[in-house]
């Protein structure tokens, strides 16, 4: 098993992959992480040329290409000499540097590697900016809109590489557990997109706790993709509230620290944040087998209904747990495969119907 994992600087890619390695060790799986960036610095040092981290992207492109090729030769040798092990190769798809894109991969070596899965680790752009501003290489280089564009480019390029090699591609948020990628690699669990009325749920603590309990139970049966692992919209709303009060700068709590941002910078990224929120959730539905809707409130959510319509119209079963006290909208019922009145009813159904594992592929018989 070989997995190529991409993610822009500041996305927490290596942090997430270390969680996957931890999960693999618990299960006794021989999984190894190879970080292309670190290996490039080590290779240059062995060759007598120590490169500063903040200067590596200023090196001439042919030199970077040569150094990357040397590292991939090393990667291939290690893989071929240890056939019983599985590998995650951590790399970039592209760099957004000095207002232009730099390629960060080599088609020849990707073909030689022939990965089984491609993955892109993503995070909300405010958290990414917070990390980049603490890195001398990136401090002051990218505004929020440029970060949003770069992350979108990273996902797009990786998805195209996977499509070219006819391999699956997944986007996984940094705040998902390491078991998410581990289960994609090794388990027979089907994949579920968890949809719920985020705004209404967050407003009531009991509903929020209910969603969390339901999600943890759902993970026992499915690989779960949770849209609430990205917080861009919530932070955008906070900044817009500050803007209405005439504030020019806002301090946001990010990853246990504080990020000071100009309101103007955030508003310039507003359309990107909104559009990418919708598109990202649709990508998560695309990579899922089913959509599971947990709906504990009576108020209709346009976002949930849109996700139901998208999933139902794109060949996904849509299972709805509706515990609201009022009647359901006919549109809600129309785009649901089945509606349950309780959590227990839903879990009993998926177990009894055997809906929690991927179906075994049938052999394709030749026509006589």
User: Which residue ranges form the domains of the chain, and what is each CATH number?
Assistant: 1-187 (3.40.50.300), 188-357 (3.40.50.450)
Whole-angstrom Cα distance, residue 368 to residue 359? 26
Worst-scoring range by mean pLDDT, 44-53, 101-110, 154-163, 170-179?
Answer: 44-53
- Could you tell me which residues come within 8 angstroms of residue 120 by beta carbon, excluding any fewer than 6 positions away? 5, 6, 7, 93, 154, 155, 158, 159, 169, 170, 171, 172
pLDDT in tens, 156-189: 999 999 999 999 999 999 999 999 999 999 999 9
pLDDT at 200: 54
pLDDT at residue number 363: 39
Span 289-312, pLDDT tens digits: 999 999 887 777 888 999 999 999
Helix, strand, or coil here: 335? coil
Pull the structure tokens for residue 209: 């706790």
Distant-in-sequence contacts of 273-280, Cβ < 8 A, 24+ apart: 273/125, 273/148, 273/232, 273/233, 273/236, 274/233, 274/236, 276/148, 276/151, 276/152, 276/232, 277/230, 277/232, 277/233, 278/306, 280/122, 280/171, 280/227, 280/230
Q: Are 23 and 207 in contact (CB under 8 A)?
A: no
Mean pLDDT (whole number) for 75-81:
93
pLDDT at 141: 93
Q: Do 300 and 329 contact (CB within 8 A), yes or no?
A: yes
Query: Taking a C-beta distance cutoff of 8 angstroms, is the pair 85, 31 a contact?
Result: yes
């Amino acid at each position: 098993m070989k997995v190529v994992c991409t993610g822009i600087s500041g996305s927490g890619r290596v942090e997430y992959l270390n969680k996957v390695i931890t999960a693999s060790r618990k299960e006794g799986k021989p999984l190894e992480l190879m970080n292309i960036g670190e290996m490039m610095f080590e290779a240059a040092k062995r060759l007598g040329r120590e490169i500063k981290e903040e200067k590596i992207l200023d090196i001439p492109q042919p030199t970077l290409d040569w150094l990357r090729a040397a590292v991939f030769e090393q990667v291939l040798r290690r893989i071929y000499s240890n056939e019983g092990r599985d590998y995650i190769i951590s790399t970039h798809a592209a760099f957004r540097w000095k207002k232009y894109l730099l390629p960060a991969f080599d088609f020849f070596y990707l073909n030689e590697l022939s990965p089984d899965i491609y993955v892109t680790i993503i995070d909300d752009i405010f958290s990414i900016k917070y990390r980049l501003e603490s890195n001398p290489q990136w401090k002051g280089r990218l505004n929020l809109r440029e970060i949003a564009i770069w992350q979108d480019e990273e996902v797009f390029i990786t998805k195209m590489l996977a499509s070219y090699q006819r391999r699956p591609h997944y986007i996984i948020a940094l705040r998902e557990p390491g078991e998410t990628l581990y289960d994609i690699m090794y388990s027979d669990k089907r994949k579920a997109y968890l949809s719920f009325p985020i705004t209404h749920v967050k407003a009531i603590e009991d509903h929020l706790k209910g969603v969390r309990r339901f999600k943890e139970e759902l993970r026992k049966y499915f690989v779960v993709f949770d849209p609430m692992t990205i917080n861009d919209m919530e932070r955008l709303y906070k900044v817009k509230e500050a803007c209405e009060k005439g504030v020019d700068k806002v301090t946001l709590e990010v990853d246990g620290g504080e990020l000071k941002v100009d309101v103007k910078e955030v508003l310039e990224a507003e359309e990107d944040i909104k559009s990418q929120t919708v598109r990202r959730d649709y990508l998560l539905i695309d990579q899922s087998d089913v959509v599971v809707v947990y709906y504990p409130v009576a108020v209709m959510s346009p976002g949930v209904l849109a996700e139901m319509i998208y999933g139902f119209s794109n060949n996904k079963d849509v299972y709805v747990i509706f515990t609201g006290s009022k009647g359901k909208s006919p549109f809600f019922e129309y785009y649901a495969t089945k509606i349950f009145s309780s959590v227990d009813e839903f879990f009993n159904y998926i177990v009894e119907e055997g809906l929690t594992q991927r179906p075994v592929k049938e052999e394709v018989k030749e026509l006589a």
